[in-house]
Structures are given as C-alpha cells and as structure tokens.
Structure 1
C-alpha cells in the first residue's frame, strides 16, 4: 500500500477520535433538551396570566438535569436525575443510551483498526479496508438510531410540559422546548463517520486495468492454399 493511501487511512483515525469525543460529550452533558419556563396564575375572572418576573430554565441530559426557577425572589437551582422523570418513556430512554454506547464502541474499534491499517496490511477482510467501512458504517447507523429515538422521545413526551412537579404552582414549558447541543453533537458524529467512509473510498480507490486483446502469433510460415 502506498504512503498516500496509508496517509488517507490515518486521517480516518482522527475522524474516529473526533466522533468518540462528540459521543462521549453528548453522553455526559446535560443539554439533550432545553426549555424556557414561565409561571401562570388564574385571575379572579378565571383567565390565565403570566406572572411578572416569574421565569425559569430547565435542561437535562441522559442522566442528569437541572432547573432554575425565579418566583420573584431570586433564582433557585435544583438538580435532578433524568431516570426519575415520570413523563419520559423508559424504553426510548434506555434505547437511546444503548445505541449511543454502541456507536461509541464502533468508533473506538474503527480508530484502532485505522492505526493497524496504517502500520500494516492485514490479511483478513474484517481487520482490513472492508473492516474500516464496516466499523464506520455501524457507528453512523447506531448514532442515527440514537438521534431517531431521542427525536421520538422529544416529540411524543417532552413537548407538553417538562415541569410536571411544578405544574401545580403554575409553571410550564409547553411550546418552549428545543433540542439542546448535546443532541446535535451526535448528529455531527454521524457526518464525521460518513466523511470517514468517503475518505477511505477515495484513499483506496484504484482504476481498473483494462485487458487488451492481442492477436495470436502464427507459429508456422506462410499458409498455402490449393
């Protein structure tokens, strides 16, 4: 394998490392969802009115979250565990974590075999160039499943009000929920793995050699016709 091809493969090592960092950051940060919060009160005429100076913010990740609410006497910060949120679908939550973990694992394997293919030329396909396609493709697929599962979770369970425990006091986030940057880190990781696949294809591409048909050589002399 030429130095140029080995160099292209080595670039995918950095791509996998970048994807690993993105997935690890997404898993550990608390910004898969963000939402502004307001507090409403019922007036004597039975109408809802937003209380002045009563605003807040809530954000959470796959494991931890926090909410800061201001009822007019200063902001109070509270931390909570995401797994204790009753309005979340437990199956979608577990599936999101499992797929993200699998994508992270595939990225690690892809990085390791990128080093192997840069230093040597493996004989087995699973450890060679076909394997690099496989690990990056699987990583992209698992990351894509992570995005899909969380998007379903978001639209089905997190767009009404994520402050159920404070709803009795008039707090709501309805219509103000958005995807946080932790979610978008996984989206970026998908494109990183796709870029790796393109780099591998370009770096290992070889033009097909066309076989030229040659006329058979005559072994004897002149052929005489009678």
Structure 2
C-alpha cells in the first residue's frame, strides 16, 4: 500500500478517535441547553439559571431567601410528564447517538487494523471507512435533527416547571444550545473527513496506476520497435 494511502488511513484513525471522544463527552455532559439568566416578575437575573443534558440537569431558582441549586433527572421528569423533552424523541435520540458511537468505534478499529496490514478489498478494508463514516454521520445527524426539533418547538419557550411559572419565573427567549450539543455536531462534521481522505488517496493511487500502465505500454512499444530495427539491420 503506498505512503499516501497509509497516511490517509492513519489520519482517519485520528479523526475517528476524536469523533468518538467528542460524541461520548457530548452524551455524558449536562450542557445540551443552557440559559443566560431567567426572568422573575419581568426582571432578568443571572443568579437564576438552568442547564441540562440528556440525562441530568440543574435549575437554580431564587425563592426570595436566595438562589436554591437543584439537580434534576431528565428521565424522572419525562416519566412524570413534567419534562421539556418528549419521551419518544428522547428515546430515539439516545438510540441514534448510541448507534453512531458504535459505527464510529467500528470505523476506529478498521482504521487501526489497516494501518498495520495490507489493504483488504471489503468492508474491513479502507473502502469500508466510507460505510462506517456514512453510518455514523447519518445516525448522529438524525439525533441532532431530533433535538433541534425539540429545541425550536418546545425548549426555547420553556425549561421550567409549573411551580416556577406560577411564581412568575420565565425562561422564554433566554435558552440557547450548550457546548454538549456543539460537541456532537462537530464530531458529526469531522466524520465526513475520513471519507474525503480515503477518496482522495484512492483517486491518487488510481491515477498513479494508470500512469504506470501507460508508461509500461510505451516502453513495450518502444522495445518492440527497437527489436524490429535490430532484426532488420541483422538481415542486411
């Protein structure tokens, strides 16, 4: 396997590793959404806030006697029908994130394998990187799309409970996407790069092979002409 192709596989290994780390960190951190403060009786305060991941979150609310910090479980709030997340969307989203992590890990293993062995002409070889990258991008892309649907449909308007709304707290207009969301989005984006690298390396390899074949044919043709000329001289 030529050097360019091996380098493409090596960089693909690095990208798969980075994408896996980003996706796993995104899943386990609690900043998919965060507020820049909350309103209480029309007054914005930075001392009261909400941030949440896919499993846990935090609400800090000032109930007159000072801000009270409380950790909540997204799953428990979904079960009691008080969550800002839709149960079906949440389950499907977690499924596709997990599936994307699986494909990314497979791509990582395939890239590692192909840095130390000769090229294999199936899905366990460099061409399989197309498949694993595409599956990972698709899975994580679906998860991101589902979350954005929830975000623009519900989350932007309210991430508080009924008791907070009754006390005239409001999060409308103060909720944004947190770094956990962007970690998965970035990890999803860089999964495209292994496809590009392998495509460019295979294209380069193909062009080199075609050039060598043409050069070989020209050499054979020149050799044949030289032999004919020598035969003619010998006859004379």
State the TM bucket, normalised to the shorter chain. 0.7 to 0.9
TM-score normalised over the length of structure 2: 0.80
- Structure 2 stretches of 5 or more lacking a match? 229-236
CA contact (8 A) 1:9 1:203 kept: no
- Structure 1 stretches of 5 or more lacking a match? 41-49, 220-226
- 2:52 is aligned with 1:60: yes
Deviation at 1:3, TM superposition (A): 3.1
CA contact (8 A) 1:31 1:59 kept: yes
| Matching residue of 1:80 | 72
Deviation readout 1:85-122 (Å, 9 max, x if unpaired): 43421111111111111111111100100011111125
CA RMSD of aligned residues (A): 2.5
CA contact (8 A) 2:140 2:184 kept: yes
Deviation at 1:139, TM superposition (A): 0.9
| Matching residue of 1:7 | 7
| Matching residue of 1:25 | 25
| Aligned-partner SS, 2:18 | helix
TM-score normalised over the length of structure 1: 0.84
Deviation readout 1:150-181 (Å, 9 max, x if unpaired): 00011112122111231111111011111111
| Matching residue of 2:201 | 203
Within-5 A mapping of 1:1-226: 1-35=1-35, 36-40=37-41, 50=42, 55-83=47-75, 84-85=77-78, 86=82, 87-165=84-162, 166-205=164-203, 206=205, 207=207, 209=210
* CA pair 3-209 structure 1, distance change in 2 beyond 3 A: closer
